[in-house]
Amino acid sequence: MDSPLIPAERYAPLWCKSCYSFLEGASHPEELVEEAYRLGLPSIALTDRDGVYGMVRAHKKAVELGVHLIVGAEMTLFDGSALVLLAADRGGYANLCRLISRGRLRSPKGESRVSWEEAAEHAEGLIALWGGERSLIAGETTPDRAADCLREAFGDRLYGLLTRHRQAGDALRERRVRDRAARYGLATVAGAETLYHTPARRDLQDVLTCIRHGVTLATAGRLTQPNAEHMLRAPYDFARLYADDPGAVRRTEEVAQRCRFSLAELRYRYPSERLPDGTTSSAWLHELTFRGARKRFPKGVPADVRRQLERELALIHELEYDGYFLTMYEIVQFCQSSDILCQGRGSAANSAVCYCLGITAVDPVRMGLLFERFISRERAEPPDIDLDIEHNRREEVIQHVYEKYGRSHAAMVANFIRYRARSAVRDVGKALGFPETGLERLARLLSHYDAPDWGAVRDGDFDATNPMHRDLARLTGEIQDFPRHLSIHPGGFLLGHEPVSDLVPIENATMIDRTVIQWDKEDLEDLGLFKVDLLGLGALNVVHRAFDLVSRHYGKRCTMAGIPADDEPTFEMIRRADTVGTFQIESRAQMAMLPRLQPRMYYDLVIEISIVRPGPITGGMVHPYLRRRNGEEPVTYPHAILEPILKKTLGIPLFQEQVMQLAVAAADYTPGEADQLRRDMAAWRQAGRIERHRERLISRMMEKGIAAEFAERVFEQIRGFGEYGFPESHAASFAIIAYVTAWLKCHYPAAYLCAMLNAQPMGFYSPATLVEDGKRHGVEIRAVDVRYSMWDCALEPSRRTPGAFAVRMGLRYVKGMRKEVVARLTESRRDAPFRSLDDLAQRCGLDQGTLARLADSGALEGFDPERRDALWGALGTACDEQPRLALDIPEPDADFDALNALETISWDYEFTGHSPRGHPLGPLREELTRMRLPDAAAVRSYPDGRRVRYAGLVICRQRPGTARGAVFMTLEDESGFVNVVVWDRVFRKHEALLKTASLLGVTGRLQAQGGVAHVVADELWTPQLGRRPHPTRSRDFH
């Protein structure tokens, strides 16, 4: 930061809009504050349009630089005019937030309107500046009514705002403002509407204006500003601009002096729970914790747990966090009473109190987790509890929170959708007048998340010598990280003892029945406000459904806590990587790691979940860990002080917590610095935030005698964690769910498969793959049938094995089928079975489309075993509104070819997305064998290094950003999976084929080591078969 200029003149810019006046201001709030500091301005106001979205960022920077930040907003009135309001004190700020909330909550998303009377009602503690192009005081007609309203409410806190931008209309507007201010007895104050911190951003401001109005620069006309005079002015420049009225300049300082409010004054009280008479929050939390502890430890609470609980409760009480814990407890209680499965995760898993309150399921004392990771006196930041809730019932919990605390005391946290390379190219290019189809092609050449790297673009459509293309490159760089619009955090709530709208404005979210505050997660962290995270998790829904099925059909009641922790068949199945459909450990990469890691206990799963992440992978931690675990390499520590931190992971840092502890122990990070490191890791998309730790970390580590190579590796891992790393506490919570799902799959495969199929869409694999996996595990799958199927899949007694169950596919799998139609069908069926297709159509009132869908899917095979005949019949048998006449002449027969086995399976895939009758490659096996193509089981049995030609259905493609362009694919046939690795060179050669083929041939070399087999592809090709299976859809991930 440059040192400030020492100006002879002084003034305060009182009307500044940042990029948080969405698509209007062209500077970040921090840039405005930094520029004010550089210009020697002691104060600056941030007055974004109908919001305080950027205020926390500006506040943070102002505190850092010692600039006085004036908090305000530009309010939009019903008549479309504007009024600038500045908060003089805390009451004024609350009024500002309430007024914005009122305007926002009544308006469509992205808009706000308030009345003059409402502005007057909220005048206390606010200063009003009336002027500018959009103001009534500068308009053609005399605004006597509005003036009376404002004068009465604001008194001497109402100023006439003079604005000069060296535009032709300035003089007329100013004369009106001066005349009317004199008439109404108002003082005038000098100003200008600041839209950017430097004139260099004028071009970007023009582009933002075009984006906002959906026009191009060539057609924008007067929508853009006529000149570049909306920058932050140096004091001497401002004084020169108002050389004829120095009094008005001086009054800017007077106004600044009157605005003493700072965001640092915000005092936040967490909502208190309604407590039994006479009980304090603290005592009630103590009571509930020990009640829970007695349940968790029925044989008596161990002394070390008791000690830990007392220690935690004392700190919670000292930091006044009792209410927060009671809230989380209440939400968990609500979930339990509503039969909603939930589980806490995140740093809360480090707390024994959370464990005893039933918020988390991990015993931190046994796990040796650090409570300080959760709450720390030094860090002075609020605890963060993430509660995973069955994803299909999360909305119930969210609405419960709204209901319990009221819309005024609870609102969801915002999430700003910001410009990244591709979105920037699309929007900026459109404003510049590029054709959109061409822009899309250009956008695809850039990274999803990073800033645009034009040097890497080698395409005839981008010409660096073309001025228009150069503008595109320059402006897409400048617009990076600008917020485009407001979205909603996946599950973060802000709760307050006082109304939340006294703290921050609330507005409507796009989703119905949701309200959202104007700050995001990071803003809340910066201000030390509490956030409650209610996140949806599909796996919990699967577990719940599976528990219900086991209870109903097998007569066994299961709970998460009641499942034996050390079930050997389950671990044996996990070690075989037989984990399709399980939580977290089902992906191709996880399955490849399982045989190498050989998990034998719960903590092994914690490591398994953490290790297959970009953090450890890019940090080069995986192989050393595996070698040490297998005894192929001694466990050593780079420095004695790191031993306690790295001991449980054999000297290799695998968890985010370890990285932070490393920073503290080896690089002398203070707790505050370590916390900043954690937040910078979380904000990995904001360029350069992690990089600034590099020098500090490595040099300090080397000073302590740690090898440079290790220090570099630790930093690489930190960077990797930034992209996506797991804290141990997250992994510990997820490992429980992973284990429970594996246990269910191992012992109740039919029930688990049924639960999985009913919880779709979710997970890594398609229903077809889950069904095929079920079949390979001996689960009998029964096709959809109007005579038996319900909406959901269901269990039916098996005819093969007494006591076992088959899965009857539900009608939800018939494409295009609606739930209410199926309800009608099952209702009618309850009265009497359907006698014929006609009977079905008439009794259920089914139309031609529905009947055709049922025939296509094979659900009418009970009436006509030939599917084409059934389809012809269905098309001619819609429900008649009029009773039929007996005189109907029977129509001549139509003759259709019967479907062969391949066609039958293809129809199943086309109309239900799976086939209970067989795998699409089953009927082609003979032909494939003739072509000397083996099945997956044969490939897996080949020795390492053998050359392989194989063909299978592509069920999954993955191209992780950390894999240097490699693509990982899973191919499937009737005997199982084959994993294929396609290096970048081969990918480039066969890109279109790889991206689109559903049946793919691969030639390559088999790598089979440690129970893991991959074919490393040299060539990809399309198998030349006489018949082709129906194209299946693979699940593709980045």
Partner 1 sequence: MDRMACVDLAALPLQVLLRAQPEWRSYPVVVVDRDKPSGVIQWVNERARSQRILPGMRYAAGLALSRELRGGVVSRAMVDDVTAELLQRLWRFSPRVEPSSSDAGVFWLDASGLGRLYPSLELWAEGIREDLREAGFASSTAVGFTRFGVYATAKAGNGSVTFQNPAQERSYVRRVSIDRLRIDPELRDTLLRLGVRTLGAFLDLPAEGIRKRFGAAAYELHQLARGEGWTRLCAREIVEPTERTVYLDDPEIDSDRLMAWIEPLLAELIAETTARREVVAAVTLELKLDNRSACCERVAPAAPTDDAAQLLGLVRLRLEAMQLPSGVVDLTIRTEGAGRSARQLDLLQEAPHRDLDAADRAFARIRAELGDGAVSRARLSEGHLPGAGYDWEPMSRMTSPKPRETGVRPLVRRVYAPPIALAARGRHEPDGWLVAGVAEGPVEEVVGPHIVSGGWWAREVSRAYYYVRTRSGRWLWIYHDQKRRRWFLQGEVE
Binding site for partner 1 (CB under 8 A): 166-168, 170-171, 202-203, 206, 217-218, 220-224, 226-229, 426, 432-433, 435-437, 439-441, 444-445, 459, 468, 471, 848, 852, 856, 868, 871-872, 875-876, 891-892, 894-897, 991-993, 995-996
Q: Report how far residue 853's alpha carbon sits from residue 860's, in angstroms, rounded to the nearest whole number.
A: 10
Residue 15, exposed/middle/buried by CB under 10 A (0-12, 13-18, 19+)? buried
Minimum Å distance from CB 180 to partner 1? 16
Name which of 264 and 468 has its Cβ closer to partner 1.
468
Minimum Å distance from CB 439 to partner 1? 8
Name which of 644 and 876 has its Cβ closer to partner 1.
876
Minimum Å distance from CB 576 to partner 1? 36
Tokens read off for 56? 């926390």
Tokens read off for 80? 């479309």
Minimum Å distance from CB 173 to partner 1? 13
Minimum Å distance from CB 260 to partner 1? 36
User: Quick check: 228 and 202 in contact, CB under 8 A?
Assistant: yes
983 C-beta neighbours (distance < 10 Å), count: 16
In the three-class reduction of DSSP (H, G, I as helix; E, B as strand; rest coil), residue 343 is classed as strand
Q: Report how far residue 797's alpha carbon sits from residue 817's, in angstroms, rounded to the nearest whole number.
A: 26
Minimum Å distance from CB 391 to partner 1? 27
Name which of 857 and 975 has its Cβ closer to partner 1.
857
Name which of 748 and 872 has its Cβ closer to partner 1.
872
Tokens read off for 476? 């897409």
Name which of 529 and 852 has its Cβ closer to partner 1.
852
Q: Report how far residue 627's alpha carbon sits from residue 631's, in angstroms, rounded to the nearest whole number.
A: 6
Name which of 195 and 871 has its Cβ closer to partner 1.
871
The string of DSSP letters for 161-217 reads EEE--S-TTHHHHHHHHHHHHHHHT-EEEEE--B-BSSGGGHHHHHHHHHHHHT--T
Name which of 6 and 168 has its Cβ closer to partner 1.
168
Name which of 561 and 898 has its Cβ closer to partner 1.
898
Q: Report how far residue 417's alpha carbon sits from residue 489's, in angstroms, rounded to the nearest whole number.
A: 10
Name which of 708 and 894 has its Cβ closer to partner 1.
894
Tokens read off for 400? 């419960």
Minimum Å distance from CB 872 to partner 1? 6
* H/E stretch holding 1: none
Name which of 206 and 586 has its Cβ closer to partner 1.
206
Name which of 406 and 438 has its Cβ closer to partner 1.
438
Q: Report how far residue 33's alpha carbon sits from residue 55's, in angstroms, rounded to the nearest whole number.
A: 11
For the chain, give me the number of helices (H) and strands (E)?
42, 22
Minimum Å distance from CB 166 to partner 1? 4
**What sign does the dihedral 283-289-290-295 (CA atoms) show?**
positive
Name which of 802 and 892 has its Cβ closer to partner 1.
892
Minimum Å distance from CB 221 to partner 1? 3
Name which of 247 and 435 has its Cβ closer to partner 1.
435
Minimum Å distance from CB 1027 to partner 1? 14
360 backbone dihedrals φ, ψ, rounded to 5°: -120, 165
Minimum Å distance from CB 172 to partner 1? 10
Between the alpha carbon of residue 1005 and those of residues 187, 621, 991, 1018, the distances in Å are 84, 27, 20, 8
Between the alpha carbon of residue 234 and those of residues 48, 159, 417, 894, the distances in Å are 21, 23, 33, 88
Q: Report how far residue 716's alpha carbon sits from residue 696's, in angstroms, rounded to the nearest whole number.
A: 14
Strand duo 805-808 + 967-973: pairing:
unpaired
Tokens read off for 982? 């396609």
Minimum Å distance from CB 424 to partner 1? 14
In the three-class reduction of DSSP (H, G, I as helix; E, B as strand; rest coil), residue 537 is classed as strand
User: Quick check: 422 and 446 in contact, CB under 8 A?
Assistant: yes
Minimum Å distance from CB 862 to partner 1? 20
Minimum Å distance from CB 460 to partner 1? 9
Quote the radius of gyration of the chain (alpha carbons, Å). 33
User: Quick check: 674 and 656 in contact, CB under 8 A?
Assistant: no
* H/E stretch holding 384: strand 384-390
Minimum Å distance from CB 26 to partner 1? 14
Q: Report how far residue 662's alpha carbon sits from residue 656's, in angstroms, rounded to the nearest whole number.
A: 10
Kindly give, in sequence order, each residue whose CB lies less than 8 Å from that of residue 777, ignoring residues fewer than 6 positions away.
749
Q: Report how far residue 358's alpha carbon sits from residue 561's, in angstroms, rounded to the nearest whole number.
A: 11
Name which of 755 and 967 has its Cβ closer to partner 1.
967
Name which of 455 and 892 has its Cβ closer to partner 1.
892
User: Quick check: 134 and 82 in contact, CB under 8 A?
Assistant: yes
692 C-beta neighbours (distance < 10 Å), count: 12
Name which of 802 and 890 has its Cβ closer to partner 1.
890
User: Quick check: 773 and 763 in contact, CB under 8 A?
Assistant: no
Name which of 229 and 384 has its Cβ closer to partner 1.
229
Minimum Å distance from CB 1034 to partner 1? 14
- Strands annotated E in 894-1025: 947-958, 967-973, 976-982, 999-1009, 1012-1021
Minimum Å distance from CB 462 to partner 1? 12
Residue in the block written with tokens 């069955």? 390
C-alpha of 364 from chain center: 27
Name which of 264 and 875 has its Cβ closer to partner 1.
875
**What sign does the dihedral 59-62-63-68 (CA atoms) show?**
negative
Minimum Å distance from CB 227 to partner 1? 4
Q: Report how far residue 176's alpha carbon sits from residue 179's, in angstroms, rounded to the nearest whole number.
A: 5
